[in-house]
Amino acid sequence: MAVVKVKAGHVQPVWAGHPWVYAQAVEFLEGGAVAGDEVLVQDARGNTLGRGLYSPQSAIAVRLYTRDEHIALDGALVGARIQQAMERRSAVGLPSQGTNAYRLIHAEGDDLPGLVVDRFGDDLVVQLTTIGMKRREGVILDALQRLLSPRAIIDRTPAKTAASEGFEAGVGVVRGESVSALSFEEHGIRFEIPLELGQKTGFYLDQRSLRARLAELSPGRRVLDAFCYVGALSLAVARGGAASVRAVDSSAAAIEVAARCAARNELAGPISFEVGDAFETLKRAARDGGYDLVIADPPKLAKTRGFARRALATMRRLAAASLRATSPGGLCVLCSCSAALGFPELIRAAALGGRDANVRPLVLERWSQGPDHPVPAAFPEGQYLSTLIVQALPL
């Protein structure tokens, strides 16, 4: 087996448990290895740090899946890791009565880096994000079929991610019956999301906990959901007792799906859906006196740390616009789905945006991804979702 030697100044994070070896940390490759091969990772003295999958085209040269140099990533290990992930979800109450959609495999969080699997009712959606996992696709799909007996397994690997790793992404159903939509429940709300709708694996499962919390905070409130996508947050607050909900998104297709889901759950009454620009909607809301609860959960603003400064400026603008659109004493929800724009940056954006808006934002609660998105303690990049619930107070 080939050996990847790590430069002396880059050993500490890997030794402490970080699962990535960056390309810039590699001193040299000893022995032959091609994309997707298993490799040993060692420090300059020859001490083994772990065993992982090799991605020579990537900025992340190796993703470690074990610290034991004798453990191979074969069918038996894949099956065991999936079984462990299932037990981990069961321990936190997933699936549960009224909820049958959750993340089953969260890559590094379940010791299967390069693999994401989401369960949506009877169906599974997979993303194979490294060449190493793509080469083991058959073993992975066999294990998922054996352990979960899904109706269908759908591949939604992003084409751009696959290209960066040197392979072609699969498209659509790769095992099982032909399906055209994902049908599932969350907290008793029934969803049906067409496969052609392209966000992530089809739905933002990582915000489940926030949706439950906002449903608790919504009774009697007038709510503005500025980036509603398929309306999951809007439906949650409507079910929770909101007096009215204005749900806005720039995608006409997403708004159409959201309206159908609202009708399916008999929640169309309090919700008005519209296609529009979030910033313009927030400006109009501020002029009209504001809402009791404003939700701003935008798409990812910073794909990498290199975009963090620009993303912080955009989040500051969004925070200012959202706080202006929140009635005095009301609640404003600000979200970031990028590890490069975490809680410190989000709090700074809220503070500066509040100053711009002549509002004093008081942080009441902090939320992140749910327990089906586990994160190794030594892997801060895995903590990618940050949400603040703030009260908009006068200066």
Residue 189 near residue 126, CB atoms below 8 Å? no
Strand order in the sheet with 271-275: 271-275, 244-249, 222-225, 291-296, 326-336, 386-394, 359-367
End-to-end CA, the chain: 64
Pairing of strands 291-296, 326-336: parallel
Per DSSP, helices labelled H in 100-191 are 131-135, 137-148, 159-165
Q: Measured at the alpha carbon of residue 373, what is the angle toward residues 337 and 194, in degrees to the nearest 5?
A: 70
Burial of 309 (0-12, 13-18, 19+ CB in 10 A): exposed
228 catalytic residue (yes or no) = no
Separation between Cα atoms, residue 380 and residue 387, nearest integer Å: 16
Burial of 62 (0-12, 13-18, 19+ CB in 10 A): buried
Question: What's phi and psi for 210, nearest 5 deg?
Answer: -65, -40
Whose tokens are 């074969």? That residue is 74
DSSP at 300? P
Measured in whole angstroms, the distance separating CA 323 from the mean position of its chain's CA atoms is: 25
Whose tokens are 């703030």? That residue is 390
Separation between Cα atoms, residue 389 and residue 361, nearest integer Å: 9
DSSP at 7? P
DSSP-derived 3-state class of residue 369 = coil
Q: Which one from 228, 261, 332, 337 is the annotated catalytic residue?
A: 337
Separation between Cα atoms, residue 283 and residue 146, nearest integer Å: 52
Q: Tell me whether the omega of the peptide bond preceding residue 150 falls within 30 degrees of 0, making it cis.
A: no
Residue 24 near residue 41, CB atoms below 8 Å? no
Tell me which residues are annotated as active site. 337
